[in-house]
Chain A
Amino acid sequence: MGAQKKGATARVSEDQEELARNPLQAILLADSFATTFRPITLERPKVLLPLVNIPMIDYTLAWLESAGVEEVFVFCCAHSKQVIDYLESSQWSSQPNFSVTTIESHNSISAGDALRLIYERNVIHGDFVLISGDTMSNMSLTQVLQEHKERRKKDANAIMTMVIKKSKPSPITQQSRLGTDELFMAINPVTKQLLCYEDKAERSKGFISLDKTLIADNPSIILHNDKQDCYIDVCSQEVLSLFTDNFDYQHLRRHFVKGLLVDDIMGYKIFTHEIHSSYAARIDNFRSYDTISKDIIQRWTYPFVPDILCGSSAIKVERQGAYRASDVTLSRSAHIGSFTFIGQGTKIGNDTKISHSVVGEGCTIGSNVTIEGSYIWNNVTIEDGCQLRHAIVCDGVIMRSGAVLQPGVILSFKVVVGQQFVVPAYSKVSLLQQPTQQDSDEELEYADNTSGTGELRYKLNGDIATDLSETAYELGTGGVGYIWSVFEGAQDEEWKHSVAPIPTDKLVKLMLDKDEDEEQLTQDGNVLSASGELKADSDDNGSEDDDNADSRDDYGFFEKEVEATFLRAVHENVKVDHAVLEVNALRLSYNMASVDCAGAIFYSMMKLAVESPHHSASELHRNAADIITKWQKLLKSFLHDIDEEIEVILKFEEMCLESAKEFAALFPQVLHLLYDKEILQEDAILRWADEKEGADESDKVFLKSSEKFVQWLKEAEEEDEDD
């Protein structure tokens, strides 16, 4: 650590001149241009939502400030007034050497629009950091900036450096731990150039396509699926003008990054910078809200953790990662579990159990309440006997006694849940009615919402009073709020991005689906089967019978090859060792076992004996004996155990029956010869005899002919035993 730090400071001083000329600037998009945090974001912008009791934007700004950024342009669109008011009243407006300027817009509907507007303002004068206000990090920018600058010096087309971090996706859900889809990136390992970026690899297809030219242009490419996009980009000024030139660029990744990667006319390049020890992640959905909250509580974002950001006198970390503010009223019998945050002024009653949760400021929690993995914001009242599991409860919510929140519930601002009412899993409850028409274009998040506060007031005064009967029906007696219905099609996806962990039945289902997929793939013959067994052939049609036939064919070829090798060895007087090597090579290339080799070699030897000139049976026998004597070493090197020896006998039998009937008469003699030469052990012969005992009469021909020999062997064995 110390060494790294020293290195970093040295680099800073080198770049000091440059930095002095151009103060480091950052563009912070205080608007996610997405709808994932609805209904909460109808009333408050996402960047002001508390994350472990501190607004998200504070983490981002604190990091930018400590990373040496001097000028931040905060772009706000939806609820811009709230963001501006917050920033003005916060500590950030009065920091020396760190200016925060807000840029307001009312008609931007995407990141593209925002960047075009910033380009028009002409405020960016050099390289800048582009992030959104929901990004947590503690990385040092020194290295990535330096890399970016150096690349720029060499290649003016290197306009952007993306920060990535290793994070393995779940093999079952194919999601990252942040709840985003599995991301595929092709990166040149030497230059770190990004070549392909695919965040929506179609599962049904199970593949991504790479352009041929990529492979031609790059000596090596690594395809990653274990990298997480941190959504921290170091950009050159050109990025802004590119957005202006391509007015249809809306989304930073989907349009801009992919557009640049595809477009080879301009030749702009994007590079990646991987961080290892530092942390960076963006809150994209409720799942990442949960994950990042837990990361913060576990201090991965150190020093941007609540007790340091708020000042440690206000919040203390106790044993097992329990964060507690200084004035919490806690019943003696209440049980606060590990990794829990309790904010200032909160009161907690008897026998209440809280674990892995965040409870904000000024909350009142009654007795016998169970809170597990939930995020409770400020000034929430939870009466006796309530149960909350993996839920988000916004400011000012009241839960009457005995109410239950099932996993994945979102209660937006000031909702009241009636007595004993059970809010079903994954439901979203808000005082605002669900926008009746879901805009087909998901980019248009806040379009219906520019007058958010006014609308809200109207609802509070009018609607709720008049619609009380209806809302009461929805949320139990005394309940206030609408339960939003889930859009068609989205129903199935709800559990994926929720704060609640994925239910086991879904996991099991996914696992089964996956297995099926895999089976299909295996049957297609393109993929190794799960056991890793290699198929003998490379043919595509793969039913079992064909497979066997193929392998039989294969054996035929193999036998021929071995025979040819053997003959060459005989004629050219090749050394036995070399012949062994050659046969072994053949065995590997045909994927055969040594049993097959033994059979094939023996076959070749006998065939040679038959084919060499002979006039009588005795001459044939002598031929065979010569060959066996000469090449016994070759044969023996493939006879490792008894099975292989039996194979040799069976092969011989087969030959006697089919290809070399002349040997039929000589069967016992040759058998004896093989025994004498210690090629076959008596065990093998006896076992062969035993096996044949039960066979058909026709199969017993050779057994009978060699009966005497077998008998003699048996007796010899008995004698041995007698001794």
Chain B
Amino acid sequence: MPDTQALVNDFLNKLKKRKIEGSQATAKQTAELLRSVISQTRVPYTNQAAALIQSVKAVGEGLIAANPVELAVGNVVRRVLHIIREEDLSLTTAAMAGLNLSAVSDDEDDVGGDNQPVLSAAAIAAASRSTLRPPSLQTLLEDVPDSAAVPHTSSSGGDSEGKSKSADKSSRSRKLKHDVIEAVNELIQDINTCHEQIAEQAVENIHQNEVILTLGSSRTVLEFLCAAKEKKRSFRVFVAEGAPRYQGHLLAKELVTRGLQTTLITDSAVFAMISRVNMVIVGAHAVMANGGVIAPVGLNMVALAAQKHAVPFVVLAGSHKLCPLYPHHPEVLLNELRSPSELLDFGEFSDCLDFGSGIGAPLLHVVNPTFDYVPPKLVSLFITDTGGHNPSYIAEIYQLFVTSLRGEDMKFKSEIMKTNCVAGGNLVKS
């Protein structure tokens, strides 16, 4: 226990000091931390799920408070909580009436079990919910009838380990924790590979001889563009430098080393160039429940320019960036104001910041926000690791879930939607 506590404190500290950059790194580290928390938690014989949920929640709340701007932390905490619930549920249902199912799953054990436990757990949960509890995502979605959900369950490989061993009640206690950890591992794997999964879709979206515009730097965008390049697509990229941190310069450098034709422009030249652009592809900080995007500063301007010239505005976001909160939600801190030193040199302006004379108050204010909010109507397409969606689809999924929520823990209420949203995405894709 003490070493987990130290780990938690260390991570809290890093979050507080803003030492972790990028939501992917944050998401991954959060998941890893929660995994070790789960493995260290002692579970009582009865009601183990509750014990796990409690310890994860306790840590999670602290993490979210440490850096409320980094929404990925909350997203991962919610997903881990969800995993615990689903695994618990699947164990219970399987134990209740799993005999006939376990017969089916035995031979599939080796095939699908290792690949997709998370999905399978979710699927089982979905299946069980459709039988046990009426309101679920699948039943609520008109175009996904109940029957579609059930075949999906079996096609996804079925839940293997869970059911086969759950018959053995004595091993159940260890079973849950083990399953949860497996599932969290899978989540970490997902976070790790989200770039590749998104990049796989590059060829479908980038066409020959197109001109792509992006702003600042995002690893997802880089991988996406490079994936298209590797598939022998030839296209040009306009990179807006992304003041004041100028990460666009780094992106341009990276693109050029990978052999892409790149043009670097200032942020202010975006409007001048947009008429030549076929598509805008950008990364996001978080995708909100209404389909709005929290993105690096300057992107709202780019989105408006794109709208004016009817250029598609595509946002790439790993599923750990999908956040079940609304931008007007009081818990959501939309922005982070960084140091003015990124904008101007303190030494040169020090005489403007002399409070010793005049009215004693600064006449010069420097505001350096990190993020922009891009409303959903400006976004043409989201590409996540589960496929492409339009903003209204994301909003719809969240909407349905809010109405179907049970009054359980409000703070983490959206955990369920999260995974189901992902599962839903799979459905649409398949």
Binding site for B on A (CB under 8 A): 1-3, 62, 65-66, 95-97, 138, 165-168, 170, 172-173, 175, 177, 179, 226, 276-279, 287, 290-291, 294-295, 298-303, 308-309, 311-313, 316-317, 320-321, 338-339, 355-356, 373, 390, 500-502, 507
Contacts of A301 in B (CB 8 A): 339
A390 and B368 contact, Cβ closer than 8 Å, known pairs A166-B347, A300-B346? no
* Main DSSP-derived SS at the A contact region: loop
Bound-state Cα–Cα, A165 to B342, Å: 16
Bound-state Cα–Cα, A63 to B306, Å: 43
Judge whether B67 and A502 touch: CB under 8 Å.
no
Judge whether A170 and B340 touch: CB under 8 Å.
no
Judge whether B347 and A287 touch: CB under 8 Å.
no
Judge whether B339 and A166 touch: CB under 8 Å.
no
* Closest chain B residue to A314, Cβ basis: B65
**Which residue of B10, B19, B217 is within 8 Å of A96 (Cβ)?**
B10
- Cβ-based interface call for B357 (8 A): yes
Judge whether B356 and A2 touch: CB under 8 Å.
no
Contacts of B340 in A (CB 8 A): 298-300
Bound-state Cα–Cα, A2 to B219, Å: 13
**Which residue of A278, A308, A338, A356 is within 8 Å of B341 (Cβ)?**
A278
Judge whether A321 and B365 touch: CB under 8 Å.
yes
7 additional contacts, CB 8 Å, given A96-B9, A97-B10, A300-B340? Answer: A65-B13, A95-B9, A138-B339, A177-B355, A299-B338, A312-B69, A313-B68
- Cβ-based interface call for B16 (8 A): yes
A167 and B347 contact, Cβ closer than 8 Å, known pairs A173-B356, A179-B356? yes
Q: Which 9 A-B pairs give the minimum distances between C-beta atoms?
A: A166-B347, A501-B360, A302-B339, A167-B350, A177-B354, A356-B361, A168-B351, A313-B65, A277-B341
- Cβ-based interface call for B246 (8 A): yes
- Cβ-based interface call for B408 (8 A): no
B182-221 at interface with A (beta carbon < 8 Å)? 217
- Cβ-based interface call for B250 (8 A): yes
Contacts of A66 in B (CB 8 A): 17, 19
- Cβ-based interface call for B359 (8 A): yes
Centre residue among A166, A294, A295, A302 by max chain B CB count within 10 A: A302
Range of interface residues on B (Cβ < 8 Å): 35 or more
User: What distance in Å separates the Cβ of A179 from its nearest Cβ neighbour in chain B?
Assistant: 7
Judge whether A300 and B356 touch: CB under 8 Å.
no
User: What distance in Å separates the Cβ of A108 from its nearest Cβ neighbour in chain B?
Assistant: 32
User: What distance in Å separates the Cβ of A116 from its nearest Cβ neighbour in chain B?
Assistant: 34
Q: List 21 A-B contacts (CB under 8 A).
A: A1-B247, A95-B9, A170-B356, A173-B356, A177-B351, A277-B342, A277-B345, A298-B365, A299-B340, A299-B368, A300-B340, A302-B341, A303-B17, A308-B18, A311-B16, A311-B65, A312-B333, A321-B365, A355-B361, A356-B362, A500-B360
- Cβ-based interface call for B142 (8 A): no
Bound-state Cα–Cα, A345 to B360, Å: 28
- Cβ-based interface call for B272 (8 A): no
User: What distance in Å separates the Cβ of B148 from its nearest Cβ neighbour in chain A?
Assistant: 42
B321-367 at interface with A (beta carbon < 8 Å)? 333, 337-342, 345-348, 350-351, 353-362, 365-367
- Cβ-based interface call for B276 (8 A): no
- Cβ-based interface call for B58 (8 A): no
Judge whether B356 and A316 touch: CB under 8 Å.
no
Contacts of A65 in B (CB 8 A): 13
**Which residue of B342, B357, B362 is within 8 Å of A294 (Cβ)?**
B362
Judge whether A501 and B351 touch: CB under 8 Å.
no
A-B contact count (CB 8 A): 134
Judge whether A295 and B353 touch: CB under 8 Å.
yes
User: What distance in Å separates the Cβ of B119 from its nearest Cβ neighbour in chain A?
Assistant: 34
Judge whether B355 and A501 touch: CB under 8 Å.
yes
Contact with A along B276-319 (1 / 0, CB 8 A): 00000000000000000000000000000000000000000000
Bound-state Cα–Cα, A172 to B351, Å: 11
Contacts of B339 in A (CB 8 A): 138, 279, 299-302
User: What distance in Å separates the Cβ of A64 from its nearest Cβ neighbour in chain B?
Assistant: 12
Centre residue among B355, B358, B365 by max chain A CB count within 10 A: B355
User: What distance in Å separates the Cβ of A459 from its nearest Cβ neighbour in chain B?
Assistant: 33
**Which residue of B217, B347, B348, B355 is within 8 Å of A290 (Cβ)?**
B355
* Closest chain A residue to B367, Cβ basis: A321
Bound-state Cα–Cα, A458 to B343, Å: 53
User: What distance in Å separates the Cβ of A216 from its nearest Cβ neighbour in chain B?
Assistant: 31
Judge whether A167 and B360 touch: CB under 8 Å.
no
Contacts of B16 in A (CB 8 A): 303, 308-309, 311
Contact with A along B355-388 (1 / 0, CB 8 A): 1111111100111100000000000000000000
- Cβ-based interface call for B66 (8 A): yes
User: What distance in Å separates the Cβ of B239 from its nearest Cβ neighbour in chain A?
Assistant: 14
Contacts of A175 in B (CB 8 A): 356
Bound-state Cα–Cα, A696 to B226, Å: 95
Judge whether B247 and A168 touch: CB under 8 Å.
no
- Cβ-based interface call for B6 (8 A): yes
- Cβ-based interface call for B245 (8 A): yes
Bound-state Cα–Cα, A298 to B342, Å: 13
Judge whether B19 and A373 touch: CB under 8 Å.
no
Bound-state Cα–Cα, A275 to B107, Å: 66
Judge whether B341 and A279 touch: CB under 8 Å.
yes
Judge whether B250 and A312 touch: CB under 8 Å.
no
Bound-state Cα–Cα, A443 to B175, Å: 69
**Which residue of A96, A291, A300 is within 8 Å of B355 (Cβ)?**
A291
Judge whether B346 and A312 touch: CB under 8 Å.
no
**Which residue of B65, B66, B357, B360 is within 8 Å of A170 (Cβ)?**
B357
A338 and B346 contact, Cβ closer than 8 Å, known pairs A2-B247, A277-B341? no
B3-19 at interface with A (beta carbon < 8 Å)? 6, 9-10, 13, 16-19
Judge whether B359 and A501 touch: CB under 8 Å.
yes
Contacts of B65 in A (CB 8 A): 311-313
Contacts of B347 in A (CB 8 A): 165-168, 226, 276
Contacts of B365 in A (CB 8 A): 298, 320-321, 338-339
Judge whether B345 and A276 touch: CB under 8 Å.
yes
User: What distance in Å separates the Cβ of B214 from its nearest Cβ neighbour in chain A?
Assistant: 16
Judge whether B366 and A294 touch: CB under 8 Å.
no
A2 and B217 contact, Cβ closer than 8 Å, known pairs A177-B354, A276-B345, A291-B355? yes
Contact with A along B41-72 (1 / 0, CB 8 A): 00000000000000000000000011111000
Contacts of B346 in A (CB 8 A): 165-167, 276-277, 279, 300
* Closest chain A residue to B358, Cβ basis: A501
Contacts of A168 in B (CB 8 A): 347, 350-351
A373 and B361 contact, Cβ closer than 8 Å, known pairs A168-B347, A311-B65? yes
Bound-state Cα–Cα, A173 to B365, Å: 24
User: What distance in Å separates the Cβ of A527 from its nearest Cβ neighbour in chain B?
Assistant: 23
* Closest chain B residue to A316, Cβ basis: B333
Contacts of A308 in B (CB 8 A): 16-18
Judge whether B348 and A170 touch: CB under 8 Å.
no
Bound-state Cα–Cα, A166 to B346, Å: 7
Bound-state Cα–Cα, A66 to B17, Å: 7
Judge whether B357 and A502 touch: CB under 8 Å.
yes
Bound-state Cα–Cα, A94 to B409, Å: 32
Contacts of A339 in B (CB 8 A): 361-362, 365
Contacts of A295 in B (CB 8 A): 353
Contacts of A1 in B (CB 8 A): 245-247, 342
Contact with A along B65-109 (1 / 0, CB 8 A): 111110000000000000000000000000000000000000000
**Which residue of B67, B353, B356, B359 is within 8 Å of A312 (Cβ)?**
B67
User: What distance in Å separates the Cβ of A302 from its nearest Cβ neighbour in chain B?
Assistant: 4
* Closest chain B residue to A6, Cβ basis: B250
User: What distance in Å separates the Cβ of B237 from its nearest Cβ neighbour in chain A?
Assistant: 18
Contacts of B367 in A (CB 8 A): 321
Contacts of A302 in B (CB 8 A): 337-339, 341
* Closest chain A residue to B335, Cβ basis: A317
Bound-state Cα–Cα, A390 to B361, Å: 10
A373 and B357 contact, Cβ closer than 8 Å, known pairs A177-B350, A277-B341? no
**Which residue of A173, A177, A317, A373 is within 8 Å of B353 (Cβ)?**
A177
User: What distance in Å separates the Cβ of A177 from its nearest Cβ neighbour in chain B?
Assistant: 4
Contacts of B357 in A (CB 8 A): 170, 172-173, 501-502, 507
